[in-house]
A and B are shown apart, each in its own frame.
Chain A
């Protein structure tokens, strides 16, 4: 499980790679909360780029839920983007698509954040 961070104007894109289940969720959760906390303090939006996420279990989904709760408490937002077909289906099955705004691509998510974030992404 890896988590890589890149900043685009007021947005932080976190690229998640690997399998997120009970074996990996504790470490992932700590890393994710730290990133969300940092981004939220700057009033930004976090975009979770899930193009590298192969599988997510209920324990992994709970990490996303806790991060969302933390972000909301700090008046920040989390968007989710570029889900692989299986993860996309699990989001639907678990009704997480009703909790998170899901975008087909990172570019679409950043366009919803701000024109500046989308422009910064295009230039990168």
Chain B
């Protein structure tokens, strides 16, 4: 199983500005002060090994879209249709080389940042493509049609070339979709959201975004620990630092890096991936939140180590 991140930002897409790029370049030059590089490869090696991620990379700007690729499968599996669905669609069409694709979509919920990429999802316009949009919400189809209704978008939903089907799932019940076992789980978020547990060939991936955790509720924490139990990877809504999540942004429907570590430790999960990054946070702030989560994991580690990463557009994780 391979997880491929096409969109990792929460709420609204963001882009690096010219000033951001200039700032990264200036910081890299300062850190390289006194060094000379005879070749591109030497400079590349220095940048890769000695500079922080936030200087050499960006966490990226597309809103949520995460692909799950199964070895040998001829179908696609993807969580949410945020703006990352546009490059995901380019990838699908290039890989298919004009052959029709079957794409299985799993929707956490239908807030705008999670559906906005669909009108720009190329395969939706290709006759012969099959798109099955799975979810627990009754309003799933309504939301997809609504965003392509006049005056919001020039192409309405009905003329789309693909064969598009909406498939209702039941919470906490395992479903089999194209060889993948999928179990949705209710989460606390305005209008409800659902996390997904994906199981295939002994590997488990959790997609749990737009989910707030009320810390005083032991039953809720234990329910999520059970849902995450033994996962190889947990993609987790870590939009805020803990103090922010439980003070000024309490009841906004999101969580923190610290709670992600605690729940994964309870669940004996192997790898926590911080996801749904706050759009106001720059790359340095996001890298800081990642370092803090890693340090918290070290401080509170008991019988097993938890790997902690931060998702970025383009990240691939092999399970």
Contact = CB atoms under 8 A, between A and B. Distances in A.
Contacts, number: 56
A58 B241 contact: no
A61 B259 CA distance: 11
Q: Which of B242, B244, B258, B295 has the largest number of chain A CB atoms within 10 A?
A: B242
B242 A95 contact: yes
A65 B216 contact: no
Contacts of B262: 57-58
Contact of B299 (A25, A59, A86, A99): A86
A25 B295 CA distance: 23
A94 B246 CA distance: 11
A96 interface: yes
A86 B241 CA distance: 18
Majority SS at the chain A contact face: helix
B218 interface: yes
B292 interface: yes
B216 A26 contact: yes
A89 B293 CA distance: 12
B218 A61 contact: no
A62 B215 contact: yes
B247 interface: yes
Given A22-B218, A26-B216, A94 B299 contact: no
B32 interface: no
B216 A94 contact: no
Interface string A64-100: 0100010000000000000000100110111110110
Chain A interface category by residue count: 20 to 34
Nearest to B213: A58
B244 A62 contact: no
B256 interface: yes
Interface in B203-222: 215-216, 218, 221
A92 to B, nearest CB: 8
B243 interface: yes
A22 B215 CA distance: 8
A96 B295 contact: no
B241 A90 contact: no
A65 B215 CA distance: 12
Interface of B: 215-216, 218, 221, 241-244, 246-247, 256, 258-259, 262, 292-293, 295-296, 299-300
In order of increasing CB-CB distance, the 7 nearest A-B pairs are A94-B242, A95-B243, A95-B241, A59-B215, A93-B292, A62-B215, A96-B243
Given A58-B256, A59-B215, A90-B296, 18 more contacts: A22-B218, A26-B216, A57-B262, A58-B215, A58-B259, A59-B216, A65-B247, A92-B292, A93-B293, A93-B295, A93-B296, A94-B256, A94-B292, A95-B241, A95-B242, A95-B244, A98-B243, A99-B247
